[in-house]
Structure 1
Amino acid sequence: METQKLWTKSFISVALSNFFAFVAFYYLLVIFPVYAITEYKTSETIAGLFVTVFILSAIIIRPIAGRWINTLGKRKVLMMSLLLFFIGSLLYTFIESVTGLLILRFFHGIGFGMITTIMGAIVADIIPEKRRGEGMGYYALTMNLAMVIGPFLGLTAIQNWGMNTTFLISVIFSFLALLIGINLLFEQKGMTNAKSEKEVGSFKIGDLFEGSAVRISLVAAFFAVTHASILSFVSVYAAEIGLVKAGSYFFVVYAVVLLISRPFTGKWYDRYGENAIIYPSLLLFAVGLFLLSSADSAFLFLLSAAFIGLGWGTTFPSLQTIAIAQSPPHKRGLATATFLSIFDLGIAFGSFAVGVIGAAYGFGLLYLVNSFYVFIGIAVYYVLHGKISALLRKKEANSIIE
C-alpha cells in the first residue's frame, strides 16, 4: 500500500509560516515586560498587562475567526491575519505611551489569534488522514521550537541592542511569516471554501464554538494550568535554587528531546491510537515535574526538562489532533479555534494561580503538587475522552475480526 505523502510543499510552507509567527510571539512575550519597566518605569503588574491584553484579544478573536473561515474562506482569513500581525509588528516603534502600547498589543493579538486559527485549519486539510497524528506532531513542533528560539533571541536583543533594532527583528520574523503565507495562497488553489451566511445558517452564539471539540479542550485546559507553571516560572525557580545557568538551557533540552522523539511518537499515535500515546506521555510529564521539584543539581534540573519535554510535548499535539479529528471537515477551523481558546484560558488562569501559590509556598512545593495534579488530570482525560476512545477502538477491532 502506498504511503500518503506528508512532507509536501504546502505542509512545509504552513509549518514555516506558523514557526516564524510563533517566534515573533515568544520574542515579544519576553521583551515587553522588561521594556515597560525600563523604558516607562511601570510596575510589574502593568508590565504583565502587555502579555495579558495580547492573549485576551487572541482568545476573543479565535471563535469569530473560526466562523469567518466558513463565510469568507481560508484564503481571505489567512491574508487578513498575516497582514494584521505584520502591521502590528511595524507599529511598535511609533508608539510612545503605555496606553498606546496596550491598545497596539490588543490589536496585534487579534492578528495572532487569527493566524493560529487559520493555520490549524489549513494544516488539518493538508495532512493525509492516515498520518494525522504524525503530521500534527511535526506541526506542533514548530511552536515548541519557537518557544526556545523566540525568548532566547528576545533576551539577547534587549540586552545587547537598542529598542529600535530589537523591534526590527520582530518585524523581520513577521514579514517571513507573511511572505511564506502568501506563497501558500498560490500553492493551495482550493483554499476558498467560502459559504454565504445563508448557507452557514443564521448566527447563534453556539456557532462560535465547535461542540465536538469542547470535551478534549477542557482536558487540555486542565493541564494548561501546570504547563503555565513551566512557561512562566521555571526560570524564577532556577534562580531560587541557584541553577541560573542550567535554567537558560531548560527549553533547549526540552526542544532537543522533542526533535529526537517526534518521528516516533506521531507514527505510534496513528498506529496504536491516542490512548497508547497520551497515558505514557502524561506519566512522563508527572515524573518530570517530580524531578523538577527535587532538583538540587544541574543534571537533575535538565533531566526534568527532558521528561517534561517528552511528556507534555507529546501530549499537547495529541490532544489538538483529537479535537480536529472529532470535528466535521468543514468545521476544522472552528474546532482549532475552540481548542486553542479554551486551552489559553487555562494558561491565563494557571499563570495567575501558580504565581500566587509559588510566591506563598515556594516553587519547589508547587512543582511537587503539580506532579500529583497530573495524575488527577489522567483521570479527567479518562472520563472525558479516554474511556470512549478505548470502547470505539475495541468496537473497530471486533468489526475487523468479524
Structure 2
Amino acid sequence: MSGALSWPFLRLYLLVLLYFSANSILNVIIPLKGDSLGATNSTIGLIMGAYLFTTMFFRPWAGHIIQKYGSIKVLRIILIVNGFALILYTVTGLGGYLVARMLQGVSTAFFSMALQIGIIDALPEKDRSQGISLYSLFSYIPGIIGPLLALGIWQGGMEYFAVVMIGIAIFTGVVGYSAKMGKQEAQTATNNSEQGKNMYHSFGHLVKNPSLFTCSVLMLVGSIIFGATTIFIPLYADVIENGNAGIFLMIIAGTVVFSRFTLRKKIPSDGKWHPGFIMGMMLLLATGTQCVSFAINGGASFFYAGACLIGIAQALLYPTLTTYLSFVLPQVNRNVLLGLFIAMADLGVSLGGVMMGPIADMSSYSMMYSICAGLGVIMIVFIYFRRNIING
C-alpha cells in the first residue's frame, strides 16, 4: 500500500485511535457521574465543554510551536500531560474532572495539530483529502466500542474505570514515543520566523479571508450540534422508549467510520468550493437532529435514524472543509490559520454543552435538539447566500 495507506501513516492512525479511546469512554461516564451526584445540565455541559474550549484556546499557538520545535519533541511532552490527565480522573470527583478536562484540552490541541500538519505536508495533493479523512476516521473508531464499554463500567460499579484509564495512558505513551514522522518532522522543525511574526496578525483572517470565515462559521455551528448530541444523549436516552445511549453513540461512530472509509475518495480534493455538496451535508445534519428531537414522541426508530444521518454529516463536513482550506490558505501562515479553523470546531463542541445545557434545563432535551436542527437550516441559507463570495 502507498500514499495515505502506507505503513508510516497507518502507524500514526493507530496512535490516533489509542489517544482518542479515553474520550469515547469519558463522554458517557462524566454525564452519568454528574447526574448521579445531582449536577445540573449546565454544570455537566461546563465540565464537558471545558475540554475543547481549552483546546480551542491553545490550538493557534500549537501550530506555531510545532513549526518551531518539531512534531516529535512536542508530541512526547504532550503524551505525558495526557497520561497525567487520565490518571487524575481515577482519583478525583467532579472538581478534578474539570481540571483533567482542561489538561486533556491542552494536550489535544498540540497532538492533533502535530499529526494533521504532518499528514498535509507529507502527502501529495491528490491524496491529501484521504489522509485527513483517515485521521478523522481513526479518531472516531473508539466511539464504536467505547460507549458500550463505558456503560458496562458504569453498571458494573466503576471497579475497572481506573484500570482502563491507566492502561490507555500507558499504551498511548508507548506507541507515541516510538512514532516516527520522517520527512514531515524535518519540515516542521524549521524556524519559520515569518510565521511567528504573523501569528497574532493571523487572527484577523477569520473575518478578512472569505474562505476561512465561511468555513469557520459552518464548522462552529455544525460542531455546536455535534457537541450537544454527544454530551446530552446519555441523559436524553433515558426518556426515549427503547432508547439506549450506547447504541446511539455506537451507530454515530460506526456511520462516521464507514462513511469516511467508503466515501473518502468522494471528498473534494481539488481546492474548489462545492456549495451544493456542503448544503447537502448540512441538510443531513438538520434532518438527523430533528429526528432525534422527535424521538420523544416517535420512539427509538427516529432516535437511531437520526444517529445515522448525523454520522454521515459528521463524517464528511470536517475533512471537506479542512481539505479545501489546505489549498486556498496562504502558505506563509497556513498552519496557524488551520489552527484557528480547527479551533472553531473545538469552540463549537464546547458551546454545544455550555449553551445547550441551560436551554435543556429551561425547556427540554427535545426542544434543545429542535433548536439545533434550526441552526442547521440557517447554515443552509448561509451557504446559499455566500456561494458566489468564495471563488473556486
Quickly name the TM-score band, shorter chain normalised. Answer: 0.7 to 0.9
Q: Pick which of 326-335 and 172-181 moved more.
A: 326-335
User: In the alignment, what sits opposite 1:25?
Assistant: 23
Residue 14 to residue 275, structure 1, CA distance change in 2 (3 Å): farther
Give the counterpart letter for 1:173 in structure 2. I
SS of the equivalent of 1:375 reads helix
1:146-176 CA-to-partner distances (Å, cap 9, x unmatched) read 334333323322332545x312312322333
Say what the alpha-carbon RMSD is for the aligned residues: 3.2
Find the partner of 1:266 among 264, 280, 289.
Answer: 264
Aligned partners of 2:256 and 2:313: how far apart in 1? 9
SS of the equivalent of 1:387 reads coil
Give the counterpart letter for 1:312 in structure 2. Q
Residue 191 to residue 28, structure 1, CA distance change in 2 (3 Å): same
Aligned partners of 1:360 and 1:100: how far apart in 2? 27
The yes-or-no answer on 1:345 pairing with 2:321 is: no
User: In the alignment, what sits opposite 1:84?
Assistant: 81
1:101-127 CA-to-partner distances (Å, cap 9, x unmatched) read 544443333212221222221222233
The yes-or-no answer on 1:170 pairing with 2:165 is: yes
Find the partner of 1:307 among 309, 319, 324.
Answer: 309
In the alignment, structure 2 segments of 5+ residues that lack a partner are: none
Residues 121 and 333 in structure 1, CA contact (< 8 A), matched pair in contact too: yes
TM-superposed deviation, 1:354: 2.4
Find the partner of 1:355 among 357, 361, 365.
Answer: 357
SS of the equivalent of 1:268 reads coil
1:119-152 CA-to-partner distances (Å, cap 9, x unmatched) read 2212222333113233322221223323343333
TM-score scaled by structure 2?
Answer: 0.83
Aligned partners of 1:329 and 1:27: how far apart in 2? 38
Aligned partners of 2:253 and 2:380: how far apart in 1? 24
Aligned partners of 1:161 and 1:234: how far apart in 2? 21
Give the counterpart letter for 2:171 in structure 1. L
TM-superposed deviation, 1:99: 5.3
Residue 49 to residue 232, structure 1, CA distance change in 2 (3 Å): closer
TM-superposed deviation, 1:88: 2.8
Residue 335 to residue 78, structure 1, CA distance change in 2 (3 Å): farther
Identity fraction in percent: 22
Residue 243 to residue 12, structure 1, CA distance change in 2 (3 Å): same
Aligned partners of 2:31 and 2:299: how far apart in 1? 29
Aligned partners of 2:336 and 2:349: how far apart in 1? 20
Aligned partners of 2:149 and 2:204: how far apart in 1? 35
TM-superposed deviation, 1:329: 4.9
Tell me how many residue pairs correspond in the alignment.
382
User: In the alignment, what sits opposite 1:398?
Assistant: none
User: In the alignment, what sits opposite 1:188?
Assistant: 182
1:339-362 CA-to-partner distances (Å, cap 9, x unmatched) read 222222222223233233333333
Matches within 5 A, 1:1-400: 5-35=3-33, 43-44=39-40, 49-93=46-90, 95=91, 102-160=98-156, 162-163=158-159, 165-185=160-180, 187-192=181-186, 193-196=188-191, 198=193, 200-202=195-197, 205-207=200-202, 211=206, 213-245=212-244, 247-270=245-268, 274-295=274-295, 296-329=298-331, 331-384=333-386, 386-389=387-390, 391-392=391-392
Residues 144 and 313 in structure 1, CA contact (< 8 A), matched pair in contact too: no
Residue 84 to residue 119, structure 1, CA distance change in 2 (3 Å): same
Give the counterpart letter for 1:156 in structure 2. G
Residue 158 to residue 302, structure 1, CA distance change in 2 (3 Å): closer
Residue 280 to residue 358, structure 1, CA distance change in 2 (3 Å): same
TM-superposed deviation, 1:89: 2.4
TM-superposed deviation, 1:81: 1.8
TM-score scaled by structure 1?
Answer: 0.81
SS of the equivalent of 1:184 reads coil
Residue 290 to residue 49, structure 1, CA distance change in 2 (3 Å): closer
Residue 262 to residue 68, structure 1, CA distance change in 2 (3 Å): same
Give the counterpart letter for 2:288 in structure 1. G
Residue 127 to residue 382, structure 1, CA distance change in 2 (3 Å): farther
The higher-RCO structure (CA 8 Å, 6+ apart) is 2
Residue 56 to residue 302, structure 1, CA distance change in 2 (3 Å): closer
1:57-76 CA-to-partner distances (Å, cap 9, x unmatched) read 32222122111012112222
SS of the equivalent of 2:266 reads helix
Aligned partners of 2:204 and 2:165: how far apart in 1? 31
Give the counterpart letter for 2:225 in structure 1. T
Aligned partners of 1:379 and 1:53: how far apart in 2? 30
In the alignment, structure 1 segments of 5+ residues that lack a partner are: 393-402
Residues 50 and 105 in structure 1, CA contact (< 8 A), matched pair in contact too: yes
Residues 31 and 235 in structure 2, CA contact (< 8 A), matched pair in contact too: no
Aligned partners of 1:59 and 1:302: how far apart in 2? 30
TM-superposed deviation, 1:388: 4.2
Give the counterpart letter for 2:71 in structure 1. K
Give the counterpart letter for 1:324 in structure 2. S
TM-superposed deviation, 1:305: 1.6
